[in-house]
Structure 1
Amino acid sequence: ISHLSILDNVLVSLQMTGLSRKEQHERAVQLLDRVGLKEHIHKHPNQLSGGQKQRVAIARALASDPDIIIADEPTGALDSQNTQEILTLMDQIAADGKLVICVTHSQEVADHGTRIVHMADGVIDHDTRLKDPFPVEEHAALPAKHLSFTAMVKMALKHMRYNLKRNLLIIFGASIGIFSVILMLGIGRGVKGYMNHEIYSQIKPTAVQ
């Protein structure tokens, strides 16, 4: 989310859990530290590289502690170094007991997993197990809830503040436009009234000359 810092990006998911505000902040910092971005928590997405943005997305996906992570082309726009770093991170997530499903056209990424389900023209043509899956441990899921109205208002205000200069220009331009319309309508009515007065004063039979 471009107008939020990467810390706030992760907190968006955590605001839909039953954790306290302090616990949300601690978990967000912990997750960003895990993906190697702790020193960048106050930066915005436009200040990050493509690989760093992918890490923020992974941290946000992990925030609410889901059982399944679905990654659609997680390395599609990354160079080889960032690709390896993201794949290593995916391995760590899978080792923690999450089911990680990567959708990819890259054979290199596919070979990094434990199982390949290959599809051609929407049909599964083979299913290959490369190695044993990671063990899964039972754990209590985080309680979930809807994003509160207060949180949505705060996000909207942050968006306004992030684009403050542009919003001020829009407000200023809109004010000029509205004022111009009102001014022209007022002038138009005044001119019309003056012309009507002059015309009627000339053609009125009882008018005193």
Structure 2
Amino acid sequence: MSEVVKLQLIGLSVIGSGVLILLFIRSQFLRVMGFVAIVLGLFSLVALAVPQMASLPPAEESIDIASIKTPADMASIGQKIFFSKGQCALCHTIGPSESARCPDLKGIGAKLSREFIFESLTQPQAYVYLDYRHEGLPKEYPARMPYINKNPIGLSKNEILSVIAFLQQMSGEPISVNPSELEMPGAAPAAPVKSAQVETVTVAQAK
């Protein structure tokens, strides 16, 4: 028996109790309480009749490495991760937007190397992009980029490489990520992707 059915039975019981009170009890106070019980029971039944909706986290995209044959396959998976588990679209846009909370990613795969993108995703504070869209001195974007390879997002290396493939494909660039770089489940982790630079640098994004 589902929770909704249980609540509906409780509502019917409350209504039934109210009806019995009105029929057999002469006390004015108890009759008022019975009427209130009937009204509350009816409201609960109406509320439970409305389709219930739950706010759930985005479904995680499982990567079946055996099914990935081409870089385009990786980009397809990366697109799903970008808009779901990766939560990238919550702050980033693909195209100009005055309300963007983080830099626009349109053409980012053509502007930055895959090593730079990998570092930006796993060490987001190594480079700070400034917002030049408005008058006055440039300032930092309102949203701080999280470490997507750590909780609560926690993308794996395979997922990050797939997102990079999507960003490159979206920018019209050849995908430099190869399916052979994906780590098989249970295999020893491969050497990390080389960082673009070691030092922390602040980079101002041109208009």
TM-score by length of 1: 0.24
Question: Greater CA radius of gyration, 1 or 2?
Answer: 1
* More strand by percentage: 1
* More helix by percentage: 1
TM-score by length of 2: 0.25
